[in-house]
Each structure stands twice: as structure tokens, then as C-alpha cells.
Amino acid sequence: MEPQKILCPYCRAELTEGAASCPHCRRSFAGRNPAGALPVGTLLAGRYTVGEMLSIDGEGILYRGVENRGRFRVTIKEYLPITLSAERGSDCQLRAKPGSEVLLKTTRMDFADLYRSIQRITPATGLEAVLDVVEANNTVYAVLENPGGVPLDQWLDKQRRTITPEEACAMLQPVFNGVAAMHQVGLVHRGICPENIRVLDNGRARLTGYATIGLRTAGSGLHGQLYEGYSAPEQYSAVEFEGRYTDVYSLSAVLYRMVCGQSPVPAAQRMVTDSNPKARTVNPAVPPYVSEALALGLQLDPARRIQTVPQLSRALSSPSAAEEEARTVHAAGRRKAREKKQKPALTLTAILTGILVLLAVLTLLTLWSLLGRSQPPADQTAPSESTSAPSVVTVNYVPNFVGMSYSQIQNNREYTGIYLFYVTEEYSDSAPAGTVLTQDPAPGTAITEGENSTIRLVISKGPQMVEMPNTIGFTQEGAIRELESRGLVPSCFMVVNDGSYASGCVVACSVEPGTMVEAGSTIVVYIAADRDVQITTTPDTVPDPGGALTEEDIDTSGVDTD
């Protein structure tokens, strides 16, 4: 097989896979990344070229990268948990430490599921888009857009002033919307902080830094990554439940930092002695209702905290809305306090009742024993003709079929000899085709012989696959409608138009027409801009590789069409 073409991750000139350096920008690839990381110039999925390592955390490595077809920059997150992974060899394959094989496999699945779920809801306002999820080298890679901009913490340092609540809320509104979209599909970010929020050139903020629950929870088995002052108190213990209110705490902490000029006292320290001052105490210019809303969002007890992002947004909007949210939160806190007071009394009552029942049972057993000894012995020589043999009742307990292959069930006479199976099928993104998704009755249900022994099973059909349509030449609106009608998610990027294309129409897509793809997949759509559109970032000069899109076509400013 001939080597594939790749792009230099520095200048984006075309090279041959395996090249040790770039003859155009004269940069060598050898030794750019540390041992254990992917070498610069590695090709992933025949489409992405890996660049230099940007950062590493307990979950994996973040690289710069290039998308070879569209010739634009991306970032690539590799799942490589340092506490579970063995040293990686020259073949780049990830291997588990002895004894960590199962945990590595399950956490790797969690990583893939997280990024595939985010891929389905991005591009969304305020969220860094997930463009692709790739399985290779015995691990998983998430390909992310390169949103540009600067981290919020650096942006705030340059301001040298506190931000007014109105400015802060306007800047973070896209992030609020994005986090609310995550919550609607059951995802919690758990890492909202100034470091993971980027301020773009247009003043809008965008949230980055996705991670699995293990990375953002202490004691999970991964090398945790918590953000002092921004991580919620429930994240400091693996036994505490986390929910939407966890992100509410972090968002409130970010707003607190913006309007006060300092971050809140870390939650671990506050749980010992809560000395965090209200925002108005730090900055008297903060309106009282904003200070109260932030205090409600930063409550240590989740039950006494604002519960959702829309509620936090409303509380920050006006004094009346803040007062209403305060009444709601305080009422929930009082209700929990009453339940807590009643719980010991109920527990004591239950204990006393149990003791009385036990004494009654022991008394009955003692009387039964005494009465049995006072009866004359029965005739041992001949049983009574009127005495009938006791009947034997067979009880079967329904096994747990969920997660099993239906072929295993069909070929097991132990199951087919006892139960009848009624089977229906559903599409599933998480279970392979033929796997049992649900069952009725539930596992452990007792079924007496002679009763209805039909088990209803729902079997996975695997992910729903759809055919990629040919949208070349469509208007942007027409392409979006066509892709969405097939269950695909369009992610539109503008490309500079030298007059070769019709403005506002599709010039290329990330997936070839006729390809079968999973429903819900994100399709990158390249839209030709007007001829007079100015590029905000000057692209590097790259030789024309002869393809439909050249380096000069791509607007490398990273501005998408949302």
C-alpha cells in the first residue's frame, strides 16, 4: 500500500505519510513530543495529522492537529489515563497496567460515549464543537474544533478591572446556553472555570475542557483534575452524587471571579470553615440581587443551591427574579431540614416495631414447641390411607438477559425449555446489534410453573445508518435541511471564495456522497463566502495540491456559521 498524503502540522503543506520533516517550513518532526505521546506527523483515521502536544491530564493528552481534507486546524484529545496505562511502545498501541484491564476498557467506553453525545449537540452556541470520534491504537480520540480566542483567565488579567454584572452575563450567555443544552441530554460538564472558557475575537465566550466523571471527581481511580475555587464540594468525594447543580456552582464561581476580581474560597476549605464573602462585600458596586443570586449558586449544600442554569440566569436578570429564586431555594432547604429531623424518629420507631415483632415470633415458636411435645406419638407403622402426598411447586427466577447476545439465549436449552420469548428490535448507539437492551419481567422475578412464562425482550439493531446525500451546490439552508431530514448534524464552516463558487453554496463536505454513516453523526459542510469577505487571520502559504479546496480557500479564523 502506498503511503497516504498528510499535511504538515505546522505550515499545512502536503507531505507523504512517514516524513521525518517538512521541506517547506524546514521543521523536523522527530523528538517534538515526549515519550509515550504520539509522534508529530502521525496519521489518524486516514484524515487527521497529529501535531505537538498541548497539555496532559489524568485522562489523556491534548494535541494540535490538522484535518487533511478541509486543510483546517483542529485539536485532538487522546484517552490515555496515566494511572491505568502501561508504558507505550513504538507501535503506539495503548496497553493497560496489570490488573487494570477491565477498568481501562470501561473508562475508555465512557470517554467515547461522552464525546459522541457532545458531537450530537454541537455545534451549539457556547460549546466547542466535537467534529469526530476515532477509535485507533487500542484507545479513543476526540477531534475538536479549534475555536481560537484566549482563555478567560488570561483575558481577565489583561483587563485590570472588574467586569460589570451586565458585561459578564452578556459574555457568558452563550456558555449558559451550551451548558443547558448538555443538561438536556443528561450530561454534566464538571470542569467549568476560566481556564476552560475561551473569549473569541467577537467577544463571545465558548466552553471547552470536556472530561469524564472520573477525571473531575476525587477518589475515582483516575488522577483527578479539580479546579480550586470553581469545583463544587460534591466533586471532592466519590460517594457524593453530582448533577446539574454541580455546573451551577461552577458557573456562579466564574461570574463571582469576573465581578469581584477574585475567585471564591475553594469548596474543600469552605466545608471546614465557610469564610467565603458575598460578592457585594468584596465589590460594593455589585447590585444586591446579583450578590444574592451568586450566594445561592455557591451554596455548599446542593439542596440549598439554585438547581438549574436557566434558574441562575433568571436570578441574575432582575431583583424580582432573584427574590423569587431565593424563596424557592429557601423553601427547599426548610423542607430538607424537616425531613432530616423526622428521620431519626422514624428510624427509632422502626427499630422498636422490629423488636416487638421478633418477640412475638419467638413466643409463638416456644408455644408451638411445647404443644408439639404434649401430643401422643403418631402411628409409625402404617400411614393413613386418607393422607395424600404433598404437592411440589416449582418456582423459576427470571435470569438477567440484559447485555447478553440473543443468539446465546436462543441456543441455550435451559432458557428455551422454560421460557417463551417475545422479541422486538430498536436502534441503539450504545449496544452492538443482537444485544438485549431491556427485558420484562425484570431479573429475579419469581414465576411459578404453570404461570405465563413469556419474557419480552428488546434487541438492539445497532446504530441507525443513513446514506450521505450529495449536497454539493446546495445553498447553506438547503444543505442543512437535507442533512437534518436524514438525521445528520451539519457543522458549517465558511471558505474563502475567489469567484470559482456560487456564494452561500456548498463546495465540499467531510463525508463523500453515498457513504453510509451513523444517524446523529456530525457532517462538516464547507460554504463558499462572498468574494469580498475578508480573512481575519492570514493563512500560511501552501502549494496547491490539486484538490478542490486549497490552502487559500480555507478561512483559518475558525469562525463557523452559528
Show the CA angle centred on residue 146, arms to residues 145 and 151, nearest 5°: 125
pLDDT grade for 391, boundaries at 50, 70 and 90: low
State yes or no: pLDDT of 272 exceeds 80. Answer: yes
Range with the poorest average pLDDT among 87-101, 161-175, 475-489, 493-507? 493-507
3-state SS track over 49-75:
EEEEEEEECCCEEEEEEEECCCCEEEE
State yes or no: pLDDT of 379 exceeds 50. Answer: no
Q: What are phi and psi of 32, to 5 degrees?
A: -70, -35
In this prediction, residue 551 carries a pLDDT of: 40
Which helix (H) or strand (E) segment holds residue 153: the answer is helix 152-159
Find the mean pLDDT for residues 179-187.
91
In this prediction, residue 137 carries a pLDDT of: 94
The answer to whether the 395-460 and 466-562 domains have the same CATH topology is: yes
Q: DSSP secondary-structure letter at 21? A: B
In this prediction, residue 543 carries a pLDDT of: 31
Third-level CATH fold of 7-145: Phosphorylase Kinase; domain 1 (3.30.200)
State yes or no: pLDDT of 473 exceeds 50. Answer: yes
Which helix (H) or strand (E) segment holds residue 331: the answer is helix 319-374
In whole angstroms, give the CA distance from residue 311 to residue 297.
10
In whole angstroms, give the CA distance from residue 89 to residue 2.
24
Range with the poorest average pLDDT among 66-70, 258-262, 279-283? 66-70
Radius of gyration of the chain (CA): 31
What is the amino acid identity at position 126?
Answer: G
User: Which of the pair, 372 or 308, is modelled with greater confidence?
Assistant: 308
- The chain-wide mean pLDDT, for the chain, equals 84
In whole angstroms, give the CA distance from residue 266 to residue 236.
11
Domain boundaries of the chain, sorted by first residue: 7-145, 150-336, 395-460, 466-562
3-state SS track over 396-443:
EECCCCCCCEHHHHHCCHHHHCCCEEEEEEECCCCCCCCEEEEEECCC
Query: Which sign does the torsion angle of CA 125, 126, 131, 136 carry?
Result: negative
Third-level CATH fold of 395-460: Trypsin Inhibitor V; Chain A (3.30.10)
In this prediction, residue 193 carries a pLDDT of: 96
Beta strands per DSSP E along 121-187: 130-136, 139-145, 150-151
Q: Cell for 61?
A: 493528552
pLDDT grade for 76, boundaries at 50, 70 and 90: very high
Bridge pairing between strands 454-460 and 420-426: parallel
State yes or no: pLDDT of 288 exceeds 90. Answer: yes
Burial of 561 (0-12, 13-18, 19+ CB in 10 A): middle
Please confirm whether the linkage preceding 441 is cis (ω < 30° from 0).
Answer: yes
The per-residue pLDDT for range 89-119, each reduced to its tens digit, is 888 999 999 988 988 898 999 999 999 999 9
Q: DSSP secondary-structure letter at 320? A: H
Reply yes or no on domain 466-562 having CATH 3.30.10.20: yes
Q: Which of 203, 220, 202 is nearest to 211 (CA)?
A: 220
Residues of the chain with pLDDT > 90: what percent?
48
What is the amino acid identity at position 112?
Answer: A
Question: Do the Cβ atoms of 232 and 246 come closer than 8 Å?
Answer: yes
Show the CA angle centred on residue 305, arms to residues 301 and 311, nearest 5°: 165
Q: How far is CA 9 from CA 52, 337, 486, 530, 542, in A?
A: 8, 58, 34, 28, 12
Q: Cell for 473?
A: 451546490
In whole angstroms, give the CA distance from residue 228 to residue 232.
9
Q: Cell for 363?
A: 413466643
In this prediction, residue 371 carries a pLDDT of: 67
pTM of the model: 0.62
Neighbour tally for 39: CB within 10 Å: 15
CATH for 150-336? 1.10.510.10
